[in-house]
Amino acid sequence: MATPKEAKEVLKRFWIETPSWAYGNSGTRFKVFAQPGVPRDPYEKIADAAQVHKFTGAAPSVALHIPWDKVDDYKHLADYAAELGVRLGTINSNTFQDDDYKLGSVCHPDAKIRQKAVDHLYECIDIMDKTGAKDIKLWFADGTNYPGQDNLADRQDRLADSLRKCYDRLGPDQRMLLEYKFFEPAFYSTDVPDWGTSYVHCLELGEKASVCVDTGHHAPGTNIEYIVAFLLRKKRLGAFDFNSRFYADDDLIVGAADPFQLFRIMHEVNQNGGFDVGTPVSYVLDQCHNIEPKIPAQIRSITNVQEAVAKALLVDHAALKKAQQAGDVLGGNDILMNAYNTDVRVLLDELRSEIGVEADPKSAYARSGYAEKIAAERVGGAQAGWGA
């Protein structure tokens, strides 16, 4: 069990990457609601991300999505981020918004389309070379809608072949993160539907390939913490995409739907070395704020994650082991519940004052006047949203 002081030490080195797309407009397939002050280009998205870092002290990195965040000069964008105290992080590929990809991208039956998708992945790696980003994250919308539409095993062969091309292009310090999702946009079969499929492809590829666990990408009732424990044990958990879900891939604020699940995940992360110095696990938000203001929502997401981490750090491991070895079912459960039920708000207030940010980052942001400033300044031009 970490003492509060030790827990704060872990939390001081624990950081979370925010996604550039969280700052743009988003919605469902029914409606995208525009909000005042929303960024119109990647520079403005980074400026907003820098605010999240400024008020939390825990979000020093911003994930980019290509082509949404395409710019002429990535070095210039990276320098701009550095000036604002943040850095450019994971490069997310996008092979799901082009007419050519109707039947898939890297698994498409036509070799020309597959090559087009692979060329896009090469483009993402070129961008990593320019920004210094370490990770490319792959999520494929590939799948089929009707039985008989395509050959499921052939699609796996095509996937393996395309992934190999991308993997072979990685530099020595670069990694490939393969994300899975059980459905959507395909409804009959998905080519990377689950962690097992992702894991097997990563194993075949080599050590630079790891699984990305998006917490919103599972069927209801899935034991996500089991997946986390398994992958950490096999050293193939590369990253989290954090968000929460009530129904499908809702992309709501992490920890909002089920804070207990988030705690259980963090407990497995903690037990299996995911918070150690030099951990290979990246902690990234993948969320869209359709109706709530975006910067405060990102701040809330960071503080929710920190709360779950703090509680997980307070689990009494020695007592837990003892209870487990004695077959003390209720005792073991009590130990976890005691940690979960601990009020960590004072600990987190102290943490924030020790790193020089205000105890309540959301209120501090509200008082800063930034929201009013961007609403007044960002007039004209096209607001960023999905596809821009």
Binding site for Mn ion (CB under 5 A): 214, 241, 286
> Hey, which residues between 280 and 309 contact ligand PSV (CB under 6 A)?
286
- Count Cα atoms within 13 angstroms, Cβ side, for 364: 18
> Which residue is listed with tokens 């395509």?
150
* In the complex, least distance from residue 281 CB atom to ligand PSV, rounded to whole angstroms: 16
Site residue total, ligand PSV (CB under 6 A): 9
* In the complex, least distance from residue 340 CB atom to ligand PSV, rounded to whole angstroms: 27
* CA 147 – CA 259 distance, rounded (Å): 38
Candidates 45, 108, 181, 267: give the one binding ligand PSV (CB under 6 A): 181
Contact, 284 vs 49, CB < 8 A? Answer: no
| Cβ nearer to ligand PSV, comparing 215 with 272 | 215
* In the complex, least distance from residue 211 CB atom to ligand PSV, rounded to whole angstroms: 13
- Phi first, then psi, for residue 166 (nearest 5°) are -65, -45
From the number of C-beta atoms within 10 Å of its C-beta (0-12, 13-18, 19+), residue 241 rates as buried
Question: How far is CA 388 from its chain centroid?
Answer: 20
From the number of C-beta atoms within 10 Å of its C-beta (0-12, 13-18, 19+), residue 376 rates as exposed
| Cβ nearer to ligand PSV, comparing 17 with 179 | 179
| Cβ nearer to ligand PSV, comparing 69 with 241 | 241
Indicate which of ligand PSV, Mn ion, none lies near residue 41 (CB less than 5 to 8 Å, by partner kind). none
> Hey, which residues between 255 and 284 contact ligand PSV (CB under 6 A)?
none
Residue 139 lies near ligand PSV (rule: CB under 6 A):
yes
Contact, 123 vs 92, CB < 8 A? Answer: no
Q: Which residue is nearest to Mn ion (CB)?
A: 241
| Cβ nearer to Mn ion, comparing 79 with 184 | 184
The three state secondary structure string of 192-224 is CCCHHHHHHHHHHHCCCEEEEEECCCCCCCCCH
Cβ-based neighbours of 175, under 8 Å, separated by 6 or more: 134, 135, 136, 208, 209, 210, 238
| Cβ nearer to ligand PSV, comparing 249 with 360 | 249
Residue 150 lies near ligand PSV (rule: CB under 6 A):
no
Q: Give the pairing of strands 17-19 and 135-138.
A: unpaired
> Hey, which residues between 13 and 32 contact ligand PSV (CB under 6 A)?
21
Residue 214 lies near ligand PSV (rule: CB under 6 A):
yes
- Helix 111-131 to helix 152-168 angle (10° resolution) is 30
| Cβ nearer to ligand PSV, comparing 17 with 286 | 286
| Cβ nearer to Mn ion, comparing 48 with 214 | 214
| Cβ nearer to ligand PSV, comparing 66 with 113 | 66
Q: Give the pairing of strands 189-190 and 61-65.
A: unpaired
Residue 241 lies near ligand PSV (rule: CB under 6 A):
yes
Indicate which of ligand PSV, Mn ion, none lies near residue 69 (CB less than 5 to 8 Å, by partner kind). none
* In the complex, least distance from residue 192 CB atom to ligand PSV, rounded to whole angstroms: 11
Contact, 300 vs 365, CB < 8 A? Answer: no
Torsion 377-381-385-387 (CA) sign: negative
Indicate which of Mn ion, ligand PSV, none lies near residue 275 (CB less than 5 to 8 Å, by partner kind). none
Candidates 44, 69, 179, 191: give the one binding ligand PSV (CB under 6 A): 179
Residues lying near ligand PSV in the complex (CB under 6 A) are found at 21, 92, 139, 179, 181, 214, 241, 249, 286
